Chain A
Amino acid sequence: MAEEKDQKAKEKALQTRTSSPEDPEALLEKVLQQPDVLRAVVEGFFQQRMNMTADKAVPELTDAQKELEEKAKLFRDGTAGLSSEELKDSAQKTPEITDVYGDDPPEWTRQRRDK
C-alpha cells in the first residue's frame, strides 16, 4: 500500500517537474516516458533556429559596408534607364515632329530670329 502511494507520488512529481538548468534530468525523464515531449523539443529547436537565421544570422553591416552600398546605389541610379513601366507608357505616346514639312521651324530658330 505504501509502495503504491510512493509510486503515485513519484509519477505526480514527475509530471509536475519542469526542466531547468538546475534540473536537466527532469526533461530527460519526461522524454523517456512521453515521446511527444521529444517531438515538441525538436520542433522548438528548429523553430528557434529558423527565427534566428531569419533575424540574426545575417551579420549587420559595418559603417564602411553601408557606405559602399550607398555608392553602389548611386551608380545604379546614375546609369539606370527608364523602368519597364515607364517605357511601356512612352511607347503609347507618339512623339511629335513639327518640322516634317518645313512649315514649323524649331523654337530656337524663332528665338534667334526674334532677337
Chain B
Amino acid sequence: MFRQLAKLAGGPARVFLYHPSELADYLESFWALRSRTADRPSPASPQPFLAAGGIRNLPPKTDWHHLMYAYLIECTFIDDIFYRVMYECLNGERLGILTPESQLWIRNTEDLFYKNTPPFLVYSVKSELRPDNAAIRRNAYYRMFGIELPQPQGIGGNGTGDNGNYVKPEASNLQFTEILEQFLSESWVGIENVRNVVGANPTDNRSVADHARRLYQMLRDRRQNGTLSREEFFAVAMMSWFHLTVEFNSPIIVDLRAEGISPEERLKRVGEKVKFPPHTKSDSYFQLAEPMSRVLNMIETNALSTSANVPVLYNPAGPLRNDIETVITHWSITTGRMLKANNAAGNAVNNVAALR
C-alpha cells in the first residue's frame, strides 16, 4: 500500500512527509476503492472524516454537556454492561448473529472507545502514561467533583479493569457535593416561597448566590487554561454514544431483544443478556444527567453568583426552574439525602441516613 503511494506521491521520501491524518485518509480511501469487493465484503465501510468532508450541517458554534452528565450516565453501569456486550459479540456468537447495522455499531464503538485512537485527534486521551480510559474518566470525576462512581471496579479498555487504582490528586474538589447540596437546599426554599407574599419568607438569595460562587470557583479552578477539557469531551462523547444507544430501540437493542419503552428498561434487559444488572437507581441517573449538566453550566457562567440573578431559579415559567426541581428530586433519590428537608423531621431523616 505505502509502496504504491510512493509511486503516486512522486518519490518514496515524500511518503513520510504526510500528516498522519492524510495517511489515515489514504488507507480509508484505499479500502473504499478496493476491487473485487464481492470477495472482500465488509459489514460497513465508514467514510473517513476528511475525504467525506465531515458530517455536514453542524451549527456554527457547538456545545456539549458538562462532565457531570458523563458521570451520571456512567453511574447506571452502562459502560460496564456494553463492554460485556462488545466482548461477547467480538469473541463469539452467544448473543446471536448480528445484523449489518449492529455490526456497524460494534465496529464504531470499538474504534471510537476501545482502541488506541490516532494521536492527532482531540478526543484521543489514552496513552502509555494513562492506558485505561475508565481510569481517565474516574480521575476526571474525582478531580472535578471529588466523588467516585458507585461501582467499585471499572472495566478498562484492556479489559482488566482499573480496580479503582486511578490517580487521586490532591487538587480535587472534595467539598463539591457538600456545597452543591447546600445550594440545592437553599434553592428549594426559594422555590417553595416564590409565591409567598403574606408570611415570613425564609428565601435567602444571598446564600444561594454564595454557594453558586463557591461552586463556580472550584469548578473553574480545575479548568484553568483548558485543563480537563479534552477529558470532559471524551467522557461526554462516550457516554452520549451509549445514552443514545438505549434512548430508542436501536439496531443493537433490537438484535439483543432488549426493546423497551425507556432507557433504563432497555439497559436492564441488555444487562440481563450479559449477566450484569444496571444500577437500581438508573432511572434517576438518566433523569438527572441533562438537567444537572445545564444547572452546572449556568453556575459556571458565574451569573448565579450574583444574588439579583438567583430568582431565575424560581421562575415557574423559566427554563431553569424545571431543571433545578428535577435535580433536587432525583439527587435526593440517588443519594438518599432529603434536600427538601429544611425542618427538624427532615434533618432527623438525613441524620439517620448518614448513620447507615
- Residue numbers of A with Cβ under 8 A of B are 49, 52-53, 57-59, 61-62, 64-65, 68-69, 71-73, 75-76, 78-82, 87-88, 90-91, 94-95, 97, 99-103, 105-106, 108-109, 112-113
Contact = CB atoms under 8 A, between A and B. Distances in A.
A104 to B, nearest CB: 9
Contacts of B293: 79
Nearest to B43: A100
A81 B53 CA distance: 23
Contacts of B294: 72, 75-76, 79
Contacts of B64: 79
A79 B318 contact: no
Interface in B195-251: 195-198, 240, 244, 247-251
A62 B44 contact: no
Given A97-B43, A112-B33, 17 more contacts: A61-B318, A62-B308, A64-B309, A65-B308, A65-B311, A69-B318, A71-B303, A72-B294, A72-B320, A79-B63, A79-B64, A88-B248, A97-B100, A99-B44, A100-B44, A102-B42, A105-B33
A82 to B, nearest CB: 8
Interface string B36-75: 0111111111010001110000010111110000000000
Contact of B32 (A65, A75, A79, A106): A106
How many residues of B sit at the interface, in one of the four size bands?
A: 35 or more
B29 interface: yes
Given A73-B319, A79-B63, A79-B65, A106 B45 contact: yes
Contacts, number: 122
Contacts of B40: 102
B101 interface: yes
Contact of B298 (A75, A79, A106): A75
5 contacts: A65-B309, A72-B318, A81-B244, A99-B44, A108-B52
